[in-house]
Amino acid sequence: MAARLARGAFLIALVALVAASGACTRAQAPPGESTVDPVAVAGSLTVAIFRTLNDATAENYVLQTLIDADAAVGDSQACMNPDNRISQRPSALANPPYSEASIEQRDRLLRALGAYEVAVASIYRAAPAAETGVALANVQRTVLALGAVANMHTQGDLFIDQGAAEFLALAARLRNARNAAEQESIAKRARPLGAKLVSILRVDVSERRLEALAATRREAGLWLAYGALTSSSAARKQHRPALPRCSSPIVPAPVASAGVTTGPAPSGSIPAVSAGFEEARDCSAALESVSLDAFFGALLDLDKSAPRLQGGTDSTLQRLRATMPASQQYIRLLSAST
């Protein structure tokens, strides 16, 4: 019994540590709404969505292990083969759904696309040469940063290396164009490439947001289940956990669900359970209220409407800023480091 209690205390501390590292706990206040860079915020939100998905997936694995008192937290977990033989597969701790390199791909792609659209707007408006020069330099910088990670084919890779190479060549052509008319011609020919990359990222981020929402909802439910088991020895004796199928994905497909679990953890829960439940609940609420779909739609529209735009960099950023969610909706998701 003493060994079981010691093991339980260790696992509770481990879950609390994992929860403390979650993206939702690394929030920082954004600058004023009227001055915030919408592309930077969208990039930070994209990173936060993916990290929240990773964190919730790992926490769900640890919580399920807590509920199954005979299992051990580690780099592997037991699973069931199609022939009902028990085998092992990497756990979510050792094999998160998305590597840091793949998350960085998305962040850098978004920032490069945003910089490109700002530059195109400056070109079509015939902005002062200094303004357009700064915008084009920003495109070059962000596209080079994208190229540095586009070929890193790790877990969760976006497979955009060819698109990134084409984007890099486009940035060079824009920089070396002899005049504004040539820049406009290049931008017009490049429109399908920009639309393709925006569409890839738009679908990807939308789907991962739904998966992260499902994972945090499941996490809240598991915290409640674990809290109930710790308060009832009879419930623990009756619990018979089912092993996952070895072929099943680490991240289950999102399913229709009721709203986010509301209210506090059950009275009498140990502090780690209450804190974990409330964290998962708050993450779910933030994910439910935040969507970048309008932002990506604005990126697509900016390229199509560039010839008719009025105003330069500030006007373009203002159009993008208008599509961003209010800071009180996304502040909990923002990570302190992107």
Asked if residue 205 is part of any domain, the answer here is yes
**CA separation for the pair 226, 279 (Å, rounded):** 15
Asked if residue 336 is part of any domain, the answer here is no
Asked if residue 141 is part of any domain, the answer here is yes
- Which pLDDT does position 272 carry in this prediction? 83
**CA separation for the pair 280, 174 (Å, rounded):** 46
**CA separation for the pair 135, 276 (Å, rounded):** 44
Asked if residue 41 is part of any domain, the answer here is yes
Asked if residue 221 is part of any domain, the answer here is yes
Q: Residue ranges of the alpha helices (H) in the chain?
A: 2-20, 38-67, 100-124, 129-150, 161-176, 180-189, 191-230, 233-238, 271-289, 293-305, 313-321, 327-330
Asked if residue 89 is part of any domain, the answer here is yes
Residues 248 and 89: beta-carbon distance below 8 Å: no
Per-residue pLDDT tens over the stretch 23-71? 564 444 455 556 678 999 999 999 999 999 999 999 998 888 888 766 6
Which of these, 232, 289, 284, 290, lies nearest to 263 by C-alpha position? 284
Query: What's the average model confidence in pLDDT over 253-272?
Result: 61
Asked if residue 335 is part of any domain, the answer here is no
- Which pLDDT does position 3 carry in this prediction? 36
Which of these, 118, 126, 136, lies nearest to 181 by C-alpha position? 126
**CA separation for the pair 294, 237 (Å, rounded):** 49
- Residue numbers of the domain that contains 191: 2-330
Asked if residue 338 is part of any domain, the answer here is no
Whether the per-residue pLDDT at 22 is higher than 80: the answer is no
Amino acid code (one letter) for 305 = S
Residues 121 and 312: beta-carbon distance below 8 Å: yes
As for how many domains the chain has, the answer is 1
